[in-house]
A = this chain, B = another copy of it.
Amino acid sequence: MSALPHVVILGGGFGGLQVALGLAHARVRVTLVDQNNHHLFQPLLYQVATAGLAITDIAVPLRHIVRKQANTTVLMAQVQSIDVARRVVVLADGELAYDRLVLATGAVATWFGHDEWAQHALALKDSRDALEIRSRILLAFEAAERTTDEAERARLLTFVVIGGGPTGVELAGALAEIARVTLAKDFRRFAPGSARIVLVEAGPRVLAALPEKLSESATATLARMGVVTRVGSVVTRIDERGVELGSERIPSATVLWAAGVRASPLTPSLGAPLDHAGRVLVAADLTVPGHPEIQVIGDAAAVPWRDGMVPGMCPGAMQMGRHAALNLLRALGGANALPFVYRDKGQLSTIGRSSAVAVLGKLRCTGFVAWVLWVFVHIFYLIGFRNRFVVLFEWAWLYLTRQRGARVILGRRP
């Protein structure tokens, strides 16, 4: 048994999980390593952060997903580096030797050289981030009910979302719904609808990856919901009192960061060439140049597509994961590795209740139709009947009652 080749997969996200599933029947030993015990359905993480879903609705234990795959072991462990010369993964508490390695550790928030902003702004990458953002949003409203200082109340009720990509737009839309609808009757000393939600984008428009018309539609929808969109605005400072856009100061107690990501900090230890965002410049078959035993997939890989890169979204990561498994199977059978070809699945971005924008090939749509499409695509990709059903129920409930079921503050112990 131990003579079988050992495939180590780092990361149980959309990419890494597909590799493991693709090797279910292969004559290899598979070890799937993740720092968390669960696969996270990241496209819906903003709904956990905005109290629409419970974290358990979008998280499935990795062990559970591969439990019937006898060749696969799951290890919950912190990876510190990769020793490519010795073919060993260095863990916080040990080492793991590999014959083949797939790096699928995704991306982390980047602060564009201002790491001190990380203390004051909240980025949304994992389950802990989501619960912390949820608590901070709800606590800001709680504190606004306590204070008697009008300026402080205004600061507590100002939410700044930095970054006008899909995550920023989703967060801003959900915040507007919370303030104007969900909490409308919950406070006595202020009207929650007076909360200000400011979406800041450095570029000329939100959802820049979509056609200009859809950006305009999204901006108009956000405006109707009460979100102030500030395009062409560069953040120059974030501190404990708020945000500065050049000479303008926006006092705010809650600053959410959705402005940029870079590859996970593991990529440099591969010793391979990286792009400006720390992504590995992989060969056409997703291997590291000079290391055919190492593949890099998902947000950690820079894979050319059209005049840019394969976008860092779920379909790209899943396709690369399946492709990595395919090439591993081919290698076992003595066949050559095939180059990876990305198949564009379009883009979908939701803004709020009944509103979304969609690009599917030549098809473009907005509003309710796009939103229904968004609902079905996301339910379809959610793993496991249980989660699909619960999320669909929560959404139906939210749609009908506009109440959010997960408004629970789980603070730290005093």
Residues of A within 8 A of B (CB): 36-38, 54-57, 59, 61, 63-64, 67-68, 70, 73-78, 93-94, 127-128, 131, 138-139, 142, 145-146, 183, 185-189, 386-387, 389-390, 393-394, 397, 401, 403, 405-411, 413-414
**Residues of chain B with a CB closer than 8 A to A387's CB:** 405
**Residues of chain B with a CB closer than 8 A to A68's CB:** 185
State how many angstroms separate the Cβ of A399 from the closest Cβ of chain B: 12
Contact A59:B386 (CB < 8 A) given known A54-B54, A75-B146: no
Cβ-neighbour of A55 out of B54, B70, B403, B414 (below 8 A): B54
Are the C-beta atoms of B59 and A408 separated by less than 8 Å?
A: yes
**Residues of chain B with a CB closer than 8 A to A131's CB:** 410
Other than the known A74-B145, A390-B390, what 7 A-B pairs have Cβ atoms closer than 8 Å? A37-B142, A37-B407, A55-B410, A67-B186, A73-B145, A77-B146, A386-B401
Closest residue on chain B to residue A186 by CB atoms: B63
Closest residue on chain B to residue A145 by CB atoms: B75
**Residues of chain B with a CB closer than 8 A to A407's CB:** 37-38, 56, 61, 64
Are the C-beta atoms of B138 and A37 separated by less than 8 Å?
A: yes
**Residues of chain B with a CB closer than 8 A to A394's CB:** 390
Are the C-beta atoms of A414 and B78 separated by less than 8 Å?
A: yes
**Residues of chain B with a CB closer than 8 A to A405's CB:** 56, 386-387, 390
**Residues of chain B with a CB closer than 8 A to A70's CB:** 188
Are the C-beta atoms of B55 and A57 separated by less than 8 Å?
A: no
Are the C-beta atoms of A409 and B38 separated by less than 8 Å?
A: yes
Bound-complex Cα distance A284 to B349 (A) = 61
Bound-complex Cα distance A68 to B405 (A) = 18
A and B contact pairs by CB, cutoff 8 A, 18 listed: A36-B409, A37-B138, A38-B407, A54-B406, A59-B408, A61-B408, A64-B407, A73-B188, A73-B189, A74-B145, A74-B186, A75-B145, A76-B409, A127-B410, A128-B410, A386-B401, A387-B405, A390-B405
Closest residue on chain B to residue A55 by CB atoms: B408
Bound-complex Cα distance A68 to B186 (A) = 8
Are the C-beta atoms of B414 and A37 separated by less than 8 Å?
A: no
Closest residue on chain B to residue A35 by CB atoms: B414
**Residues of chain B with a CB closer than 8 A to A61's CB:** 186, 407-408
Closest residue on chain B to residue A387 by CB atoms: B405
**Residues of chain B with a CB closer than 8 A to A75's CB:** 145-146
State how many angstroms separate the Cβ of A26 from the closest Cβ of chain B: 16
Closest residue on chain B to residue A127 by CB atoms: B410
Bound-complex Cα distance A145 to B94 (A) = 14
Bound-complex Cα distance A187 to B188 (A) = 52
Are the C-beta atoms of A56 and B406 separated by less than 8 Å?
A: yes
Contact A37:B146 (CB < 8 A) given known A73-B188, A188-B73, A414-B78: no
Closest residue on chain B to residue A185 by CB atoms: B67
Which 10 interchain pairs have the tightest Cβ spacing? A54-B54, A63-B186, A56-B406, A67-B185, A54-B56, A76-B142, A37-B409, A59-B408, A61-B407, A73-B188
Bound-complex Cα distance A188 to B73 (A) = 6
**Residues of chain B with a CB closer than 8 A to A414's CB:** 78
Contact A408:B56 (CB < 8 A) given known A187-B63, A413-B128: yes
Bound-complex Cα distance A93 to B146 (A) = 10
Are the C-beta atoms of B408 and A38 separated by less than 8 Å?
A: yes
Closest residue on chain B to residue A142 by CB atoms: B76
Bound-complex Cα distance A364 to B128 (A) = 45
Bound-complex Cα distance A389 to B76 (A) = 33
State how many angstroms separate the Cβ of A68 from the closest Cβ of chain B: 7
Bound-complex Cα distance A389 to B390 (A) = 10
**Residues of chain B with a CB closer than 8 A to A93's CB:** 146
